[in-house]
Copies of this chain bind each other. A is one copy, B any other.
Amino acid sequence: KPSLWDSPTWVPPTDDGLMWMGENAYPFHEIATPAPRGHRVTSDGFGGKVLMAVLSEAVAKTGIDVHIDTGALRLVVDGDRVVGVVARHFQQTVTYRARRGVVLTTGGFADNAEMLAQHAPQLVGLGVNSDGGDDGRGIVIAQAVGAAVKHMSAGQVGISLVPGMMVRGMIVNDVGQRFINEDVYPGLVGQAALFKHNLRVWVILDEQAYEEVPVDERWGVQPHFVAETLAELEREIGMPEGALESTVGEYNRFAERGEDPYFHKSARWLRPLRPPFAAIDVRRGMAPPEYGDGGTSGGGAEVFTIGGLRTSVDGHVLDLDGELIPGLFAAGRATSGLHSWGYISGTSLGDGTYFGRRAGGAAARQ
């Protein structure tokens, strides 16, 4: 649907098909002419279920055998070639002969705490965006037959804040310093907040900024601290005396002129902040409507892993010397795919669908 939702948010509350995910923000708007884009299939709220319904229906029509509740344990190799899979179906060990190839689309490893500790320790202990099955097994069984991985420390960080509040105020670390332009894609804010500031971050805003965000976009978030002065707010949060006064003072001084020489937030979102002030502790989470009654994302962020198997653009898995492993393909979050650090929302759909189709096609042509 070609209508534009023109305000920072994770997912529009409408069925608008286009939005900005920070493409119209610094530094990206200086590198290319920004265009709004689709983040999801046309849908009210989150679109994942619609997409899966369409894909499942297409699979059902083809008559393909689907074996559910069956997890791959290891690959079977004949010489240099991958020719099958040994899997577990409840108590039963099952073996599959792959005449053309095995395509691994097993997801990342965000649900595997040991793999996280080895490769992406900053993601340990946070909420996870997955169906619970991102155990990394597909990556490991491919490595066991010689596959290479890359970018294993990269992660997407869905930070628990309402972008519309942040963009109208500011986000600061635990000594009151801003660290990014608040109108950029909020996942990049999350990556900066986690990897650079250990998620000890607060959204600082004033009453007008809070009131401007429609109730249905607030996702249950209310200020955790409110104060008539910044000095009082600093004390409540436990920041150094003068930290917010200094940061907000500088911010306001330039906002009067519609400028942000520190982080280049767009003039559209620049306005001096006035008392009363409020602070939101990002680690206390929020309640996205898709989570249903009482569902909250606590801890400050929900994450998934970006690193994974090295592949060619046809989905061939590459070995440690960069050569194709005959008979082995992969797509989606089991691969390192398009992104690494700097992930932006929605592009895993591209890694899954576009490169998944290419991987399936390449396997079928074997």
Which residues does A use to contact B, with CB under 8 Å? Answer: 118-119, 121, 140, 143-144, 146, 148-153, 175, 177, 195-196, 240-243, 246, 249-250, 253-254, 261-263, 310, 319-321, 340-341
CB distance from A283 to the nearest CB of B (A): 19
CB distance from A341 to the nearest CB of B (A): 8
A262 touches B246 (CB 8 A): no
Interchain CA distance A144-B322 in the complex, whole Å:
12
CB distance from A182 to the nearest CB of B (A): 15
- Given B121, B240, B254, which contacts A262 in the complex, CB threshold below 8 Å? B240
Interchain CA distance A240-B263 in the complex, whole Å:
10
User: Which residues does chain B contribute within 8 Å of A148, judged by CB atoms?
Assistant: 118, 143
Q: Closest residue of chain B to A174, judged by CB?
A: B262
Q: How many copies, total?
A: 2
CB distance from A343 to the nearest CB of B (A): 14
User: Which residues does chain B contribute within 8 Å of A243, judged by CB atoms?
Assistant: 250, 262
Asked whether A153 and B153 contact (CB < 8 A) given A241-B261, A242-B250, A263-B175, the answer is yes
B144 touches A320 (CB 8 A): yes
Leading 10 A-B pairs by shortest Cβ distance: A240-B261, A153-B153, A118-B150, A196-B196, A175-B262, A140-B320, A177-B177, A240-B262, A246-B246, A144-B320
Q: Closest residue of chain B to A115, judged by CB?
A: B150
Interchain CA distance A116-B143 in the complex, whole Å:
19
Interface pairs (14), CB distance under 8 Å? A119-B150, A119-B152, A140-B320, A140-B321, A143-B143, A143-B320, A144-B320, A152-B153, A175-B262, A195-B196, A240-B261, A241-B261, A242-B253, A246-B250
Q: Closest residue of chain B to A340, judged by CB?
A: B121
Asked whether A118 and B310 contact (CB < 8 A) given A144-B146, A320-B143, the answer is yes
Interchain CA distance A121-B254 in the complex, whole Å:
35
CB distance from A318 to the nearest CB of B (A): 11
User: Which residues does chain B contribute within 8 Å of A341, judged by CB atoms?
Assistant: 121
Q: Closest residue of chain B to A153, judged by CB?
A: B153
Q: Closest residue of chain B to A176, judged by CB?
A: B262
User: Which residues does chain B contribute within 8 Å of A340, judged by CB atoms?
Assistant: 121
CB distance from A22 to the nearest CB of B (A): 19
User: Which residues does chain B contribute within 8 Å of A196, judged by CB atoms?
Assistant: 195-196
User: Which residues does chain B contribute within 8 Å of A151, judged by CB atoms?
Assistant: 118-119, 121
CB distance from A17 to the nearest CB of B (A): 34
Interchain CA distance A121-B341 in the complex, whole Å:
10
Interchain CA distance A195-B194 in the complex, whole Å:
12
Interchain CA distance A253-B196 in the complex, whole Å:
26
User: Which residues does chain B contribute within 8 Å of A118, judged by CB atoms?
Assistant: 148-151, 310
User: Which residues does chain B contribute within 8 Å of A119, judged by CB atoms?
Assistant: 150-153
Interchain CA distance A143-B340 in the complex, whole Å:
22
User: Which residues does chain B contribute within 8 Å of A246, judged by CB atoms?
Assistant: 246, 249-250
A143-B320, A243-B262 given; 4 more Cβ-contact pairs under 8 Å: A140-B321, A143-B148, A144-B319, A240-B250
